[in-house]
């Protein structure tokens, strides 16, 4: 199905099932332990052995020698895989570093060996017997030190942008801000580690894994192993969190396959927690400079955003300037990104890449500018709203309810009660309110599905779409039920298998909208076949209550299928509507904090997010997405930071004891409001996605609330107590 004109009225608009707050259909499986995660396929294969990954002990250099003899003699050991015996390996299109290092070492904890044994304990013990000697090279481990050597990254998506004459307009502006902000390296810290179980059948390999993008993963496994894609099967029906860290194949999948080949039996591998930080991808740190010029009345005349980030050679930048190109008006504007080569573990996508660190800076800058102007921060943003792409004014937004988000949020949160900075006390706590905009683009991606009608009237949907804890099973079932006119319990959804049609996968806020649109396309094709078999006009046939009707005739879907099955397959292919209009989502985030006047400890007291994100496919699940993202925003604002050892190049706090994420006691009362919105330019579903939007801007809202509470402005995340305490008022 081609989607190249705005959606008109269609079966989804009935909203009998779609748009309803249904419970997750995968919930019972997860609470009863019958949802099978990557490390848990006990019945899929016989006699699975265990692999233990060994990570490099240096950040840059070469392996001078590796002695595996003691490990090979250890009890239970079946094989030891290294670059010396693994055969020729390629590199995945989505990987920056090779997944099995040697003799070159590109970063600390790069996988350099896998020990395979009968039990996990034997594999772990034997891994400790492997002796590696290294020749170290001087590495580049500090973004601050390498900033001067940063260059413009390759690729048209990374081009500098310029509209008007920024330098002249900024110099002439009556009120200006020129400030520097920093965001740290961050870890995904998902609950389920990267894990895989691999089994060979002749020259074909099946990998049960934890991966967000099945088609990408299948292709990159094939490229790495040097085999044809049709000889690779990936299976990933349940994923215990990914946040972008599982968008791409990691060492666990490739090493499980290599280990299984060497041991001649199935092998399972999980990356232990330190390897998730140092072997897998992470959100890279940024240095950002933001300049804003405005009139005394609060109209932005010049806005410039520059960002520096680092990655391994061949990697890409953190696109932190992305939102600044679209969010606020301003006739004269620039954005620039620069990329430094660093020998740290690979930087790549983490939930809302680009906008999350970008808005951590931009939305503090907007707050600072509002203070300079003496204008309320909400009002300042309203005055600089735009209904067109500021870089291309001829291109309107498809939907933009940003101002409505701000106004509804301010009213509901009680923003008018906000006081001057540092003026509200509650016992030992300084109390303040802050807010920030939320923004995330709404991309779409071709997505396919297979739809089957059985003789009992049940519908089965198969697609390689994944569920990373976001509720894909449920919204896909709701879509099929709505389009086919059946109850949702008459729909079975099968996900996460590369033998199914290729979908959009989970990531980038494109997953829900694209994948359900693909299911819509398949079900519309199924409707056509069913109506034709029932001798009805497909254009006018009605599907409801398990029947197809028209012209005074009504037939049960089960009777149309008869003793067999009707199977169709289709995909949604998007045209150029996103070129003609800008598709984006918007939010207004509000936070109230208390800061201990004695210690500088910050406690978030309450939060509110008001979101405009197209049709909300399942309000209950969407709310869960937003409050989870808000919680991640608390961590980004107050605690999450990978500490870099700049002498040997690794993240020191590479476990959940040292890398501090929010816990239940840190999470206050959270409220979420969704504005009523449908976007006909987005897809037949008229949806957009919310997974990233709930995070973008939240850390800045907390930072701005801290400033309102204390009068102390911190521009370096996370905002820990030592950055506040010197500026707090003297106490007896």
Q: What's the 3-state SS for 585-623? A: EEEEEEEEEEEECCCCCEEEEEEEEEEECEECCCHHHHH
Half-sphere exposure of 362 (CA within 13 A, CB side): 29
Q: Token pair 């409220």 is at which residue?
A: 671
Q: Token pair 């503090």 is at which residue?
A: 364
52: β partners: 115
The tokens for 561 are 């299928």
730 pLDDT more than 90: no
Cis peptide bond prior to 103, omega within 30° of 0: yes
704 Cβ contact list (under 8 Å, min separation 6): 363, 364, 367, 377, 434, 435, 436, 591
With 0-12 CB in 10 A as exposed, 13-18 as middle and 19+ as buried, what is 577?
A: buried
Question: Do residues 595 and 724 touch, judged by C-beta distance below 8 A?
Answer: yes
Q: What is the largest CA-CA distance in the chain?
A: 87
User: For residue 676, how many other CB atoms are within 10 A of its CB?
Assistant: 9
pLDDT confidence tier of residue 203, bands split at 50, 70 and 90: very high
Average pLDDT, stretch 676-685? 98
> In angstroms, how far is CA 271 from the centroid of its own chain?
20
Q: Where are the beta strands (DSSP E) in 510-663?
A: 542-544, 547-550, 553-556, 566-574, 584-596, 602-612, 644-645, 650-651
pLDDT at 609: 98
Cα–Cα distance for residue pair 195/719, rounded to 1 Å: 33
460 pLDDT more than 80: yes
Cα–Cα distance for residue pair 134/143, rounded to 1 Å: 25
Cis peptide bond prior to 718, omega within 30° of 0: yes
Share of the chain above pLDDT 90, in %: 98
Tell me whether strands 286-294 and 669-674 are parallel, antiparallel or unpaired: unpaired
Half-sphere exposure of 294 (CA within 13 A, CB side): 25
Cα–Cα distance for residue pair 85/81, rounded to 1 Å: 6
pLDDT confidence tier of residue 357, bands split at 50, 70 and 90: very high
Share of the chain above pLDDT 70, in %: 100
306: β partners: 289, 336
488-507 residue pLDDT tens: 999 999 999 999 999 999 99
Cα–Cα distance for residue pair 594/424, rounded to 1 Å: 10
Cα–Cα distance for residue pair 592/705, rounded to 1 Å: 6
211-247 residue pLDDT tens: 999 999 999 999 999 999 999 999 999 999 999 999 9
The tokens for 148 are 């001067």
Cα–Cα distance for residue pair 255/236, rounded to 1 Å: 17
Cα–Cα distance for residue pair 548/560, rounded to 1 Å: 9
pLDDT at 285: 98
Q: What's the 3-state SS for 168-186? A: HHHHHCCEEEEEEEEECCE
- The reply to whether 692 belongs to the active site is yes
Residues in the chain: 732
Under DSSP, is residue 438 helix (H, G, I), strand (E, B) or coil? strand
Question: Do residues 433 and 722 touch, judged by C-beta distance below 8 A?
Answer: no
Question: Do residues 512 and 470 touch, judged by C-beta distance below 8 A?
Answer: yes
With 0-12 CB in 10 A as exposed, 13-18 as middle and 19+ as buried, what is 598?
A: exposed
104's enclosing H/E stretch is: strand 104-105
pLDDT confidence tier of residue 125, bands split at 50, 70 and 90: very high
> Using only C-alpha atoms, what is the Rg of the chain?
27
Question: Do residues 310 and 340 touch, judged by C-beta distance below 8 A?
Answer: yes
Mean pLDDT of the chain: 97
pLDDT at 149: 97
Q: Token pair 């006691």 is at which residue?
A: 665
Question: Do residues 687 and 617 touch, judged by C-beta distance below 8 A?
Answer: yes
39 Cβ contact list (under 8 Å, min separation 6): 195, 197, 268, 270
pLDDT at 46: 86
Catalytic entry in 692, 716, 722, 726:
692
Instruction: Report how many helices (DSSP H) and strands (DSSP E) the chain contains, helices first.
Output: 17, 32
641 pLDDT more than 90: yes
Question: According to DSSP H, which parts of 352-439 are helical?
Answer: 355-373, 377-383, 402-413
Question: Do residues 197 and 45 touch, judged by C-beta distance below 8 A?
Answer: yes
Domains of the chain plus CATH, in order, are 2-35+446-577 (3.30.365.10), 354-442+583-727 (3.30.365.10)
The tokens for 236 are 């990933």
Cα–Cα distance for residue pair 324/368, rounded to 1 Å: 16
- Residue 594 phi/psi, 5-degree rounding, is -120, 135
User: For residue 395, how many other CB atoms are within 10 A of its CB?
Assistant: 14
732 pLDDT more than 60: no
Question: According to DSSP H, which parts of 164-269 are helical?
Answer: 166-172, 214-225, 251-263
Average pLDDT, stretch 558-564? 95
Cα–Cα distance for residue pair 498/204, rounded to 1 Å: 13
36-65 residue pLDDT tens: 999 999 888 889 999 999 999 999 999 999
């Amino acid at each position: 199905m081609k989607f190249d004109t705005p959606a008109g009225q269609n079966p989804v608009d009935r909203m009998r099932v779609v748009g309803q707050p249904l419970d997750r259909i995968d919930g019972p499986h997860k609470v009863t332990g019958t949802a099978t995660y990557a490390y848990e396929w006990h019945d899929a294969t016989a006699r699975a052995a265990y692999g233990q990954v060994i990570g490099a002990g240096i950040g840059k250099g070469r392996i001078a020698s590796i002695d595996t003899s003691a490990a090979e003699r250890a009890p239970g050991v079946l094989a030891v895989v290294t670059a010396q015996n693994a055969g020729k390996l390629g590199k995945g299109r989505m990987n920056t570093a090779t997944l099995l290092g040697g003799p070159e070492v590109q970063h600390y904890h790069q996988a350099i060996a896998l020990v395979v044994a009968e039990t996990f304990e034997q594999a772990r013990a034997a891994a400790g017997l492997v002796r590696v000697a290294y020749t170290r090279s001087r590495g580049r481990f500090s973004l601050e030190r390498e900033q001067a050597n940063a260059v413009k990254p390759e690729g048209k998506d990374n081009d500098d942008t310029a509209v008007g004459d920024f330098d002249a307009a900024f110099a002439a502006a009556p009120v200006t801000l020129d400030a520097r902000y920093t965001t740290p390296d961050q870890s995904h810290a998902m609950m389920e580690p990267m894990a895989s179980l691999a089994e060979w059948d002749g020259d074909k390999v099946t990998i049960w894994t934890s991966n967000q993008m099945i088609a990408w993963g299948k292709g990159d496994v094939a490229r790495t192993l040097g085999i044809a894609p049709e000889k690779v099967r990936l299976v990933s029906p349940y994923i215990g969190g990914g946040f972008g860290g599982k968008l791409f194949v990691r060492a666990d999948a490739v090493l499980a396959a290599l280990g299984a080949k060497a041991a001649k039996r199935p092998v399972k591998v999980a990356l232990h927690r330190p390897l998730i930080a140092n072997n897998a991808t992470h959100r890279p740190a940024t240095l950002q400079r933001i300049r804003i010029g405005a009139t005394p009345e609060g109209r932005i005349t010049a806005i410039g955003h520059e960002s520096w980030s680092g990655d391994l050679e061949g990697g890409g930048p953190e696109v932190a300037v992305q939102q600044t190109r679209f969010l606020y008006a301003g006739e004269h504007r620039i954005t620039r990104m620069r990329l430094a080569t660093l020998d740290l573990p690979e930087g790549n996508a983490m939930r809302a890449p680009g906008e999350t660190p970008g808005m951590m800076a931009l939305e503090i800058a907007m707050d600072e500018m509002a203070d300079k102007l003496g204008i309320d921060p909400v009002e300042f943003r309203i005055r600089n709203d735009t209904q067109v792409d500021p870089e291309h004014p001829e291109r309107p937004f498809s939907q933009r309810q940003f101002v409505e988000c701000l106004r509804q949020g301010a009213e509901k949160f009680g923003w008018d009660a906000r006081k001057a900075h540092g003026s509200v006390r509650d016992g030992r706590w300084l109390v303040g309110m802050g807010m920030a905009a939320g923004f995330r683009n709404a991309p779409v991606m071709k997505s396919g599905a297979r739809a089957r009608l059985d003789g009992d009237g049940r519908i089965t949907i198969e697609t390689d779409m994944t569920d990373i804890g976001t509720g894909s099973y449920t919204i896909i079932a709701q879509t099929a039920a709505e389009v086919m006119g059946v109850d949702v319990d008459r729909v079975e959804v099968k996900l996460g298998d590369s033998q199914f049609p290729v979908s959009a996968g989970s990531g980038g806020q494109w997953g829900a909208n694209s994948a359900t649109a693909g299911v819509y396309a398949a079900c519309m094709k199924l409707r056509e076949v069913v109506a034709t078999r029932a001798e009805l006009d497909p254009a006018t046939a009605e599907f409801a209550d398990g029947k197809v009707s028209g012209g005074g005739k009504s037939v049960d879907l089960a009777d149309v299928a008869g003793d067999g099955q009707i199977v169709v397959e289709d995909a949604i292919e998007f045209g150029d509507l996103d070129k003609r209009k800008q598709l984006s989502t918007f939010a207004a985030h509000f936070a109230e904090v208390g800061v201990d006047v004695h210690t500088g400890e910050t406690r978030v007291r309450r939060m509110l997010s008001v979101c405009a994100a197209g049709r909300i496919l399942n309000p209950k699940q969407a709310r869960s997405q937003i409050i989870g993202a808000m919680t991640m925003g608390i961590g980004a604002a107050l605690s999450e930071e990978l500490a870099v050892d700049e002498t040997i190049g690794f993240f020191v706090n590479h476990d959940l004891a040292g890398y501090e994420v929010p816990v239940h006691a840190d999470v206050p009362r959270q409220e979420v409001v969704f504005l009523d919105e449908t976007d006909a330019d987005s897809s037949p579903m008229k949806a957009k996605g919310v997974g990233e939007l709930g995070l973008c801007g939240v850390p800045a809202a907390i930072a701005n609330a801290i400033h309102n509470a204390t009068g102390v402005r911190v521009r370096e995340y996370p905002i820990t107590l030592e950055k506040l305490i010197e500026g707090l008022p003297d106490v007896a």
